[in-house]
A and B are shown apart, each in its own frame.
Chain A
């Protein structure tokens, strides 16, 4: 059903060409939203949708864009999209809009968007760009979820807001690791993910 190229476009970013651990894009927002699992999931989904949509739009108008102002054009497309989505959410899903609040604005500055628009959508057709956007968004979401999982579990003893580490552990001297709540730990964890990812992929290459 899917040709090899399509498969690579969609699934490549999930592992071999992951935007965070291989392309090193979107690290900044990965630090901000991974204290808990829920905002990480929401951010992952939001970025996936916005990357896919802006990829398609830029791909459709790619032949008309003047080269010298292309970055500005891309930025306008992304900013307009994010503004539209946030307006619509405020009108029809107020609770979700409040949840996202700052993260929606953060999406505009997410380097994955500009990276994919510049590297892929500007030179590929709309269908491939859609797949590339979905793939990269999901690849980003996976890393966010992994980091947030560890940080919330060790930092607050919870997952998605539910207590997972039982009370008797605390009674026996276990303590939440406050370091995990600091942004620096996200960077260290992303580093660990990159380490694991590299060593696994190197083995495959050999």
Chain B
């Protein structure tokens, strides 16, 4: 400590500069080297979540392979509203029935929430749904990813009797939604629950173009089967 004057200004400046360069190079190299693997993981995670929304058990096989077999088309719609990015809808063929998967994204209490909504061919009945979140409170808001909450959505309809898209409301037990179907909110996680509700409403509005096409012939009951 004594030979070199570690308290001089010159030393402090040089030390800081060298430290910053070393750390920057180190982080840049690691980030570059690991990027392909991270991208692959993110893609795989997305595929797993879509399979989750389709209620497909992928534990036995390779999720990526199962995904490739099931999801065989992507519909792209030019940015409606202010969204510059095109909106994508995935088309899956599940045991002969067509399912549409709509990616969702919104805001929870602490950070972003997202998910995938799988619709039946009538573009009305919810087949399954999967949610994810960045940083909701464990034991409260984070419960949106659990099957107990998600399974409530199955079989609900996103359209009202007049065939307008009205989404599904997430409401506290005891409250009643006018003109739309509802599921129970997670008690103690009011903001995350209403975040899910808002996310569904806002995102479904953005899928207007996709949902509109069918609205002329769409029926209340589920009709599946037919084409491949």
Interface residues of A (CB under 8 A from B): 33, 35-36, 38-39, 63-69, 72-73, 76, 80, 83-84, 87-88, 90-92, 94, 98, 101-102, 152, 155-156, 178, 181
Give 20 CB contacts A-B under 8 Å: A35-B138, A35-B139, A63-B6, A64-B4, A66-B15, A66-B16, A76-B20, A80-B27, A84-B26, A90-B38, A91-B34, A94-B41, A94-B45, A101-B134, A102-B110, A102-B135, A156-B139, A178-B187, A181-B137, A181-B188
Q: A91-B41, A178-B188 are in contact. Are A36 and B135 (CB under 8 A)?
A: no
Q: Which of chain A's residues has its CB closest to B11's CB?
A: A66
Which residues of A are found within 8 Å of B1, using beta-carbon distances? Answer: 63
Interface residues of B (CB under 8 A from A): 1, 4, 6-7, 11-12, 15-16, 19-20, 23, 26-27, 30-31, 34, 37-38, 41-42, 44-45, 110-111, 134-135, 137-140, 187-188
Total A-B Cβ pairs within 8 A: 79
Which residues of A are found within 8 Å of B111, using beta-carbon distances? Answer: 102
Dominant secondary structure of chain B at its interface with chain A: helix
Least Cβ distance of A103 to chain B in Å? 9
Which residues of B are found within 8 Å of A65, using beta-carbon distances? Answer: 6, 15
Least Cβ distance of B207 to chain A in Å? 26
Q: Which of chain B's residues has its CB closest to A88's CB?
A: B34
Of the candidates A73, A84, A101, A155, the one whose C-beta lies within 8 Å of that of B135 is: A101
Q: Which of chain A's residues has its CB closest to B189's CB?
A: A181
Which residues of A are found within 8 Å of B42, using beta-carbon distances? Answer: 94
Knowing that A63-B1, A76-B23, A91-B41 are A-B contacts, what are 4 other residue pairs whose CB atoms are under 8 Å apart, sorted by A's residue number? A38-B138, A66-B15, A91-B38, A102-B134
Pairwise interchain contact B15-A90, C-beta atoms closer than 8 A: no
